[in-house]
Structure 1
Amino acid sequence: MDLKGLLQSWPVYRQLTGDDKLGRGKAAQSHRSLTLTPRTAEADRVAHSVCPFCAVGCAQKVYVKDEKVVQIEGNPDSPISRGRLCPKGSASKQLVTGPQRLTKVRYRAPYATEWQDLDLETAMGMVADRVLDAREKGWQQFDSDRHTLRRTMGLASLGGATLDNEENYLIKKLFTALGALQIENQARI
């Protein structure tokens, strides 16, 4: 490379001799940065989602390539966040792609020291059995004056702020159908 080519590759030289005196445009760009393309440009499709971290409900665009998440960004069409995400929302790609993410149902029996892997059907059956058992043990058909109650004191629900309205609605319906009285949400407390 000759001296002129060497100087042209130096950003400070381009800044001093070119039109970009502040060094915020072409003068500051390297040859490599001129050839880069964003990960979002190579995505096969974009799925719309909501950030799972809090109750604000910031909209997200999830960019997918070869059925793998390659980028998650804020959705500028959202009236809530207008395309912005907080630091936790910006890092939500790690929830999907992080190596620490559990992909199996893990179970540790009472007093056991080791975890064991369960298939989803077995785990769901165990949860259903325990819910029905707690409902039955805490069931109150009548009070002391023989007024009909038809409720259980063996179940309660405390929803989290990361749940959206639809999830909270379904949880409320489920626990009401089970006869539970203590149904609350963290966002309301």
Structure 2
Amino acid sequence: MTDRAAFLGWPALRQLATGDYLGRGQAVVSKKTRDKLARTATADKVVKSVCPYCAVGCGQNIFVKDGKVVQIEGDPDSPVSRGRLCPKGSASEQLVNSPTRQTTVLYRAPYATDWSPLGLEEATDMIADRVIETRRRTWQDKDENGQFLRRTMGIASLGGAALDNEENYLMKKLYTAMGAIQVENQARI
């Protein structure tokens, strides 16, 4: 590019030549900026989801390209958030694509100092066995007066504020069915 062409390409001169005196239009946009494409424009598909951070349940559009999340934006069709996301919800893409994200089950045996990888099925079986054994060991069928209790004091649940109402409802039903009566949510504490 010659010096003259470079000089005539200055935004201030383009503003004067196009009548965009306030510099709010295309006159001040560089060629490099004009040539850029949004990550959402190149996505293979859009998946609807709900933000994982709090119990509000804001809708999200998740843009996927080649099986990888490339962008997460607010879902304008959501009656809850109407296309808006808070700063944490807007940063969801970083949560999903973080190189430090843990994607395998880790287990630390009693008295061990290190974590070791464990298969998902084995971990699920361990949890189920421990729940069944704790319930069996701590079950209270009747009190000293013969009144039915049908409960366990050995199992409790504390839900997080990142759970929505439906998840908390299902957790309450699950733990109540197991006989646990200590079921709480962090948002109420």
TM-score of the pair, normalised by structure 1: 0.94
Q: Displacement of 1:13 after TM fit? A: 2.2
Q: Structure 1, residues 132-160: CA drift from partner, whole Å, max 9, x if none?
A: 12212221011000112111011111111
Q: Structure 1, residues 4-49: CA drift from partner, whole Å, max 9, x if none?
A: 4212321122224431111121121001111111111111111101
In the alignment, which residue of structure 2 is the partner of 1:138? Answer: 138
1:3-152 superposed matches below 5 A:
3-152=3-152
In the alignment, which residue of structure 2 is the partner of 1:184? Answer: 184
Q: Which residues of structure 2 form unaligned runs of 5+?
A: none
Q: Which runs of 4+ in 1 moved over 3 A?
A: none
In structure 1, the residue corresponding to 2:130 is in which secondary structure? Answer: helix
In structure 2, the residue corresponding to 1:184 is in which secondary structure? Answer: strand
State how far apart, in whole Å, the 1-side matches of 2:113 and 2:3 are: 69
State how far apart, in whole Å, the 1-side matches of 2:47 and 2:57 are: 16
In structure 1, the residue corresponding to 2:70 is in which secondary structure? Answer: strand
Contact 1:105 1:123 in 2 (8 A): yes
> Number of matched residues?
189
State how far apart, in whole Å, the 1-side matches of 2:8 and 2:30 are: 10
Letter in 1 for 2:68: K
Q: Which residues of structure 1 form unaligned runs of 5+?
A: none
State how far apart, in whole Å, the 1-side matches of 2:2 and 2:147 are: 98
In structure 2, the residue corresponding to 1:42 is in which secondary structure? Answer: coil
- % identity of equivalent residues: 62
Letter in 2 for 1:158: L
Contact 1:9 1:30 in 2 (8 A): no
Contact 1:15 1:23 in 2 (8 A): yes
In the alignment, which residue of structure 2 is the partner of 1:172? Answer: 172
In structure 2, the residue corresponding to 1:39 is in which secondary structure? Answer: coil
State how far apart, in whole Å, the 2-side matches of 1:122 and 1:167 are: 24
State how far apart, in whole Å, the 2-side matches of 1:25 and 1:172 are: 56
Q: Displacement of 1:87 after TM fit? A: 1.1
Aligned-residue CA RMSD in angstroms?
Answer: 1.4
Contact 2:54 2:164 in 1 (8 A): no
TM-score of the pair, normalised by structure 2: 0.94
State how far apart, in whole Å, the 1-side matches of 2:22 and 2:168 are: 53
Letter in 2 for 1:52: P
